């Protein structure tokens, strides 16, 4: 995430002030207040937010609501905000909960002109009260105190926030994790639902998943919210945890792309010597996994362990928990893109493997030729490249020769129409080739190569641009037969925006030339091959 310097902030504010100076208004006294408003929200300075000391929020004590009444909670902490800011805040009743007793509400905090949308929720587990209070306090400060904090001012003027303040009202009223049918709502989505087979997920279990995905109306409301606001960049479902003693806990979606710095920056900033951290992942039917898989949002269960900072829901704990959760929510509001962009721009790694067994009836073989390279069958991989970068090939090839032979092994990548690394350019090139004269028998040869690849493009019949990257292991031997015994081939791709991200230099034949003068000839990139590509 790009950070703005104070100079950037001043420059942008000065521009706004210049615009104000040209306003034609009879009430020149209104300019100072307008100037202050612009200074407050024109730029997000990306500093860490330190909230003010929070009030006591413990239910049944002075400062807290009297009982665990869902309507009392909503009226006390959200309706007063909506009453004060009806042009900014709207409310809808999504319907009754599974018990058909309590309303489930959705609030929308929408600036007149907003750039992006976020979804924040709490109360999925009805007995995790601290997070419900924290989300309410965060929205309180966003509504009432945004002029005092540039982090909140940016959100107040630029970000639409959808809030599900209490997903499981029956659980809240009855101090239960589950809803009225004793279903763990956070296991009731259709993501990985069928894999939840242990007793914990069955009837009577703590994490009972329900009779079917989205069998519970509360889960359906979450689904509807995500579908309605499918343009959202983040979904954060706030939770408490009792299964470990960590001070900072986040569960993100395993094997799904995420902007993890949203959480890591907060955890790292708050870390103190002796703290116990949990950066966990989950691949279960939790709402945040469903949201990440279905809608490409940055999503998680940020969690809080009650009692680590004083009395549960007391001023010290509420302040500490709001500092933690609040900065995660603020970081979400700084996001610019869906997580699908990470699939294009982040490094990746793949392993291709093979082992010939005693039961193999059709071994992989290559016959000899003095002039022709052949692809070893099944060492073929075609991959789409979405950013400029470097592919690294490493691993080994184990094979048996039926007779003594000179063997040439070329771990080869090409892109059709690549200006320097097309099939024709590289099929017999010595850049990454290894040549060995070997006796009959079994041998292991390392594979190492690098290639500079360009994004895969759409091509027409008349205009040709670089296509997908095609990997092959090509071999040539001058006698007998090569039989593949096994291989391990690693493809590692690192995007790079450098101009000369990869260069090849060759000193062959220049042993007598003075070192560090012209002893190396630059082979790649080759300026003689620079050309236009398609219709420029």
Q: Give the mean model confidence (pLDDT) for residues 34-63.
A: 79
pLDDT at 34: 52
pLDDT above 70 for 346: yes
What value does the CA radius of gyration of the chain take, rounded to a whole number of Å?
A: 31
Say if residue 42's pLDDT is above 80: no
Mean pLDDT of 50-70: 97
- Whether the per-residue pLDDT at 2 is higher than 50: the answer is no
Task: Judge whether 201 and 175 are in contact, CB under 8 Å.
Answer: no
> Average pLDDT in the 246-267 region?
93
Please calculate the CA angle 425-427-431 and round it to the nearest 5 degrees.
75
User: What pLDDT digit, counting tens, does each position of 91-124 carry?
Assistant: 999 999 999 999 999 999 999 999 999 999 999 9
Looking at residue 36, what is its pLDDT? 53
Three-state SS at 521 = strand
Whether the pLDDT of residue 26 is over 70: the answer is: no
Q: Using CA atoms, how far apart are residues 304 and 320, in angstroms rounded to an integer?
A: 10
Band (465; pLDDT cuts 50, 70, 90)? confident
For residue 7, the 8-state DSSP code is H
- pLDDT tier at 33 (50, 70, 90 boundaries)? low
Which band of pLDDT confidence, cut at 50, 70 and 90, is reported for residue 514?
Answer: confident
pLDDT at 329 over 80: yes
- 270-282 pLDDT tens trace: 998 988 888 889 9
Cα(175)–Cα(171) distance, rounded to whole angstroms? 5
Is pTM, for the whole model, over 0.85? Answer: yes
Backbone torsions φ then ψ of 78, nearest 5 degrees: -125, -40
Span of 236-250, 398-412, 469-483 with lowest mean pLDDT: 236-250
Buried b (16+ CB within 10 A) or exposed e, 142-160: bbeebeebbbbbbbbbbbb
- The residues near 111 (Cβ < 8 Å, ≥ 6 apart) are 88, 156, 157, 158, 159, 160
For residue range 206-226, what is the model confidence (pLDDT) as tens digits? Answer: 999 999 999 999 999 999 999
Q: Which of 18-32, 42-56, 117-131, 324-338 has the lowest mean pLDDT?
A: 18-32
Domains with residue ranges and CATH for the chain:
58-341 (3.40.630.10), 347-529 (2.60.120.760)
Is residue 149 very low, low, confident or very high in pLDDT (cuts 50, 70, 90)?
A: very high
């Amino acid at each position: 995430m790009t950070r703005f310097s104070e100079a950037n902030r001043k420059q942008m504010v000065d521009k706004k002030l210049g615009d104000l100076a040209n306003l034609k208004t009879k009430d020149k006294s209104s300019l100072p207040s307008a100037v202050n408003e612009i200074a407050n929200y024109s730029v997000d300075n990306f500093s860490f937010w330190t909230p003010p000391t929070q009030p006591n929020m413990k239910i049944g004590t002075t400062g807290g609501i009297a009982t665990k009444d869902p309507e009392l909670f909503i009226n006390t902490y959200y309706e007063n905000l909506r009453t004060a800011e009806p042009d900014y805040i709207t409310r809808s009743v999504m319907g009754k909960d599974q018990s058909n007793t309590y309303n489930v509400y959705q609030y929308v905090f929408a600036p007149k002109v907003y750039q992006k949308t976020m979804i924040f929720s709490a109360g999925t587990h009805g007995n995790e009260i601290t997070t419900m209070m924290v989300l309410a306090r965060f929205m309180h400060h966003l509504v009432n105190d945004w002029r005092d904090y540039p982090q909140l001012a940016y959100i107040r003027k630029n970000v639409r926030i959808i809030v599900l303040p209490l997903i499981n009202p029956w659980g809240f009223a009855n101090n239960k994790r589950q809803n009225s049918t004793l279903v763990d709502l956070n296991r009731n989505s259709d993501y990985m639902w069928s894999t939840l087979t242990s007793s914990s997920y069955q009837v009577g279990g703590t994490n009972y998943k329900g009779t079917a995905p989205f069998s519970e109306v509360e889960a359906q409301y979450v689904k509807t919210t995500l579908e309605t606001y499918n343009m959202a960049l983040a979904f954060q479902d706030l939770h408490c945890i009792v299964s470990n003693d960590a001070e900072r806990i986040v569960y993100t979606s395993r094997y799904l792309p995420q902007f993890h710095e949203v959480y890591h920056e907060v955890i790292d900033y708050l870390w103190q010597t002796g703290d116990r951290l949990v950066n966990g992942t989950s691949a279960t039917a939790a709402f945040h996994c469903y949201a990440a898989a279905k809608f490409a949002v940055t999503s998680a269960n940020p969690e809080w362990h009650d009692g680590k900072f004083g009395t549960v829901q007391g001023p010290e704990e509420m302040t500490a928990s709001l500092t933690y959760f609040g900065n995660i929510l603020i970081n979400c509001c700084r996001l610019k893109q869906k997580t699908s962009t990470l699939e294009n721009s982040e490094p990746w790694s793949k392993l291709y493997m093979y082992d010939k067994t005693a039961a193999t009836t059709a071994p992989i073989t290559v016959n000899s030729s003095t002039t022709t390279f052949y692809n070893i069958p099944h060492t073929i991989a075609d991959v789409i490249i979405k950013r400029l970068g470097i592919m690294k090939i490493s691993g080994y090839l184990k094979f048996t020769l039926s007779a003594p032979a000179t063997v040439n092994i070329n771990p080869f990548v090409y892109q059709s129409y690549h200006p320097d690394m097309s099939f024709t350019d590289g099929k017999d090139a010595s850049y990454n080739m290894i040549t060995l004269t070997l006796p009959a028998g079994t041998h292991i040869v390392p594979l190492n190569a690098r290639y500079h690849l360009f994004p895969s493009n759409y091509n027409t019949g008349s205009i040709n641009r670089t296509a997908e990257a095609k990997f092959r292991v090509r071999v040539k031997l001058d006698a007998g037969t090569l039989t593949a015994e096994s291989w391990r081939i690693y493809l590692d791709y690192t995007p790079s925006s450098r101009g000369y991200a990869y260069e090849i230099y060759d000193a062959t034949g220049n042993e007598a030339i003075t070192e560090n003068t012209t002893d190396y000839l630059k082979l790649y990139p080759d300026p003689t091959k620079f050309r236009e590509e398609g219709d420029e």
